Amino acid sequence: MLLDRKALVPRIYPATGDGTLEGTPVLLSEAAWADLRSKTSDATLACQQLQNPLSGVQATFDVVWLRRYEVGPRTLNVYLMCDPASSRKKDSDYTAMAVIGVDYDRNKYLLDGVRQKLDLKGRWTALSALRRRWLNETGVQSVYVGYERYGMQSDLEYFEERMEIEGLAFPIRELAWPREGPGSKDDRIQRLLPDTKTGRFYLPAKVQAETSAQRRVREQGEPYRIAKPIRRKDQSGNLYDLSEIFTEEFRLHPFGSHEDLLDAVSRIYDMDYAPPVILDERALEPEWTE
């Protein structure tokens, strides 16, 4: 964050000329470097000597796996998952909500969401607004909501009160997965591997102007299918792009300082998701008899 804000000047001096474990040492003699390597794990060397945690240790994901879509499918089922910030989550101050669309072939699309610091009222406002938006979106068959269990216990009572006051009621699925113990969060996130690695997870395309494919669906009367950037304002009024945050968390896992959005997206696998039902319109036509 400090580097992104250019508050500091980076002075990074890796212990080898090319910044890799196999490179020629520049701070130690060959013998001293070989001795250090024999006594130290690659992960520790990458952090302490190469100044780069990603060197020598395999990252979970590769950003080249992520696909971009210019035009979405005609029909989707939509799943809204929330992973709220709480005192239990010592590594995070962010509430993350992810809206994932599932098409007929079980491909998944990051459609919407938030990742910012929210109090209880803010969580309800964001959750209900996202649900309302996608419930009214053309091409969406159903919207399902899931909430991480440990946050749900304290938040649900307030949500039920707001539902009664605002005259709306909808079920919220409890997303239960062991929160305690080593590796539980990483295990959840690693469930994204099969879909991302096989190119079945999509982010909105970044385009400077409307593409030919987008123009075509607009002319066909289906503008709702055009991919739109997911831009939000945080608690300080600063604009952020949710796709960029997801990509950064995806790229750095398991070394990133925040994985809130990645974790919320992985909750799609706790939702018992299903593809939309695609009907043949001809089957809906009445049968005439002579």
**What is the tens place of the pLDDT at every residue in 87-116?**
445 455 799 999 999 999 999 999 999 999
Count CB-CB contacts under 10 A for residue 47: 17
The pLDDT tens digits of the residues spanning 229-268 come to 999 998 888 899 999 999 999 998 887 788 999 999 999 9
254: cis peptide before it, omega within 30°?
yes
Q: What pLDDT was estimated at residue 177?
A: 67
What is the predicted pLDDT for the residue at 179? Answer: 54
User: For the domain with range 63-270, which CATH number is right: 3.30.70, 3.30.565, 3.30.420, 3.30.410?
Assistant: 3.30.420
pTM: 0.78
Structure tokens at 39: 């006594």
> Tell me: the pLDDT tens digits for 134-145?
999 999 999 999
Nearest to 52 by CA among 23, 7, 22, 19: 19
Q: Kindly state the average pLDDT of the residues 262-275.
A: 95
**Spatial distance between the Cα atoms of 61 and 46, rounded to a whole number of angstroms:** 18
Q: Where are the domains of the chain?
A: 1-58, 63-270
